Amino acid sequence: MKLWYGRFSKDVNEAADSFNSSLSFDKRLYRCDIEGSKAHCTMLGEQGIIPEQDSALIVTTLDEILRDIENGKLEIENAEDIHSFVENELVSRIGTVGKKLHTGRSRNDQVALDLRMYLRGAADDIISLLRNFAVTLTDIAEKHLGTVMPAFTHLQKAQPTTLAHHLAAYAEMLCRDIMRFEDAEKRINVMPLGSGACTSTSYPINRARVAELLGFPAVTANSMDAVSDRDFALDFLYACAVAMMHLSRLSEEIIIWSSDDYKYIELSDGYSTGSSIMPQKKNPDMNELIRGKTGRVYGDLTALLTVMKGIPLAYDKDMQEDKESVFDAYDTLRASLVVFDGLMREAKFNVSRLRECTDGGFTSATECADYLVGKGVPFRDAHAIVGRLVVYCIENGKTLQTLGLEEYRRFGDFDENIYDAIGAETAIGRRRAPGSPSPERMTEELADLRKRLSE
């Protein structure tokens, strides 16, 4: 039966009924809904708004309903939404007493509460997955403090760095993602119940008590705002979108690195797929999917932003559209983090190939110019000299490492020690400012990352 049957004399049209129903997706709020109802009902009893024994009976019955759902004895079906389902089930079990549960409450403040409770758990879950993945990257980085590789700008080889430095950059992004979710949680974690449909209620409710029972540190300040605010869901979605963007960027690198031309990384068979026609293929599908699913999570954020932009205060049914976006973003980010973590743990980096690509690609040109600066040549002039050297190398099939000293000398004031000066290890070892790739700085950064990730 509909919760609002009294005003109506004819059943709602079948297509309209199914269009209106949110049960197929809001059923996952069942636990939050029941816990929220228990707290509300406990408060109603304590305040003498309903008899204490009625409150106690409702609470124990809600516990039974929860247990039956969790053991699969009770199927969530045949209702307009999860709130109606729980209330109908309660009334079918204890009759008239169950009908007292909704005193002083509306589904408008109820659904706001449920979603906040759900997102609190979801944010905690994502934070722990982000932390795991950042630790995985830190572990891999630690093994590669001395693994040289080219750093790129414009996807052109730029300067030598280490794999540790490159991977730790992603660990930093994940640390900021954690902070974004923690920040979102501050606004999620505010208790809206007691706002009623829009102007609260005249019953002598105790909102602070409900907040205390449900572990909320604060209650919402304005009932109109509380039932129509979904900023907290947008904060969550934005944090999901940014985290996906980071996973997508690393995915893009893995896709490039695992290609036959790069061969920087070999994915484990457990995290790659083959082709139905080309027997040689081993494809980085997981990373392509993460990159693709990033678009879908951006869509979730854009969808809710757009839903919210034109609705007048207070609650409007448009807001029922919040849940699918939020659940989809959560599920997508969660699955991406789980798969990516396993993929990285099993992937093998090709250390000798990384070395070969570092030495072969003029990544030491900046060092070469700095060498001349050390001999008193102004940097702009040194830059031009090394530019000509590079052209000479390209034309003669040489690298800065294989160029002879006589050839070097035709261009400027070079000595035997140029070869040491342009070594990748020398270049990296000299970079000692905070944030640099030298093994000393990287060891500090990784230790600091571990500290931040364990807090």
Q: Does 223 bind ligand ARG (CB under 6 A)?
A: no
Nearer to ligand ARG, 225 or 407 (CB): 225
- The Cα–Cα gap between 96 and 447 comes to 62
Nearer to ligand ARG, 100 or 102 (CB): 102
Stretch that binds ligand ARG, among 104-112, 174-182, 251-259, 277-285 (CB under 6 A): 104-112
Q: Does 320 bind ligand ARG (CB under 6 A)?
A: yes
The set of catalytic residues is: 154, 275
Tell me the closest approach of the beta carbon of residue 319 to ligand ARG, in angstroms: 5
- The Cα–Cα gap between 173 and 24 comes to 35
Tell me the closest approach of the beta carbon of residue 117 to ligand ARG, in angstroms: 14
Q: Does 233 bind ligand ARG (CB under 6 A)?
A: no
Own/partner pairs, 159-163, CB within 8 angstroms, 24+ separation: 159/363, 159/364, 159/366, 159/367, 159/427, 160/358, 160/363, 160/364, 160/424, 160/427, 160/428, 161/428, 161/437, 162/428, 162/437, 162/439, 162/442, 163/349, 163/354
DSSP helix/strand/coil, 235: helix
Stretch that binds ligand ARG, among 67-75, 90-98, 106-114, 209-217 (CB under 6 A): 106-114
Phi, psi dihedral angles at 153 (to 5 degrees): -130, 140
Stretch that binds ligand ARG, among 103-111, 173-181, 364-372, 411-419 (CB under 6 A): 103-111
Q: Does 102 bind ligand ARG (CB under 6 A)?
A: no
Q: Give me the DSSP letters along 173-191.
A: HHHHHHHHHHHHHHHHSEE
- The Cα–Cα gap between 311 and 208 comes to 29
Name the token pair of 299.
């869509």
Per-residue contact track with ligand ARG, 53 to 92, x per CB under 6 A? ----------------------------x-----------
DSSP helix/strand/coil, 21: coil
Nearer to ligand ARG, 138 or 228 (CB): 228
Nearest to 155 by CA among 225, 242, 259: 259
Tell me the closest approach of the beta carbon of residue 11 to ligand ARG, in angstroms: 17
Q: Does 111 bind ligand ARG (CB under 6 A)?
A: yes
Nearer to ligand ARG, 81 or 177 (CB): 81
Among 22, 61, 228, 248, binds ligand ARG (CB under 6 A): 22
Nearest to 404 by CA among 436, 392, 327, 242: 392
Nearer to ligand ARG, 102 or 165 (CB): 102
Nearer to ligand ARG, 110 or 358 (CB): 110
Tell me the closest approach of the beta carbon of residue 194 to ligand ARG, in angstroms: 16
Stretch that binds ligand ARG, among 65-73, 174-182, 314-322, 378-386 (CB under 6 A): 314-322
Tell me the closest approach of the beta carbon of residue 326 to ligand ARG, in angstroms: 11
Q: Does 253 bind ligand ARG (CB under 6 A)?
A: no
For 374-390, letters b (16+ CB in 10 Å) and e give eeebeeeebbebbeebb
Q: Does 108 bind ligand ARG (CB under 6 A)?
A: yes
Angle at 434 between CA 432 and CA 436, to 5 degrees: 55
Nearer to ligand ARG, 24 or 417 (CB): 24
- The Cα–Cα gap between 392 and 372 comes to 17
DSSP helix/strand/coil, 156: strand
Q: How far apart are the first and last CA of the chain?
A: 50
Tell me the closest approach of the beta carbon of residue 316 to ligand ARG, in angstroms: 9
Nearest to 265 by CA among 275, 252, 280: 252
The answer to whether 105 touches 3, Cβ cutoff 8 Å, is no
Q: Does 26 bind ligand ARG (CB under 6 A)?
A: yes
Q: Which residues bind ligand ARG (CB under 6 A)?
A: 22, 26, 81, 107-108, 111, 317, 319-320
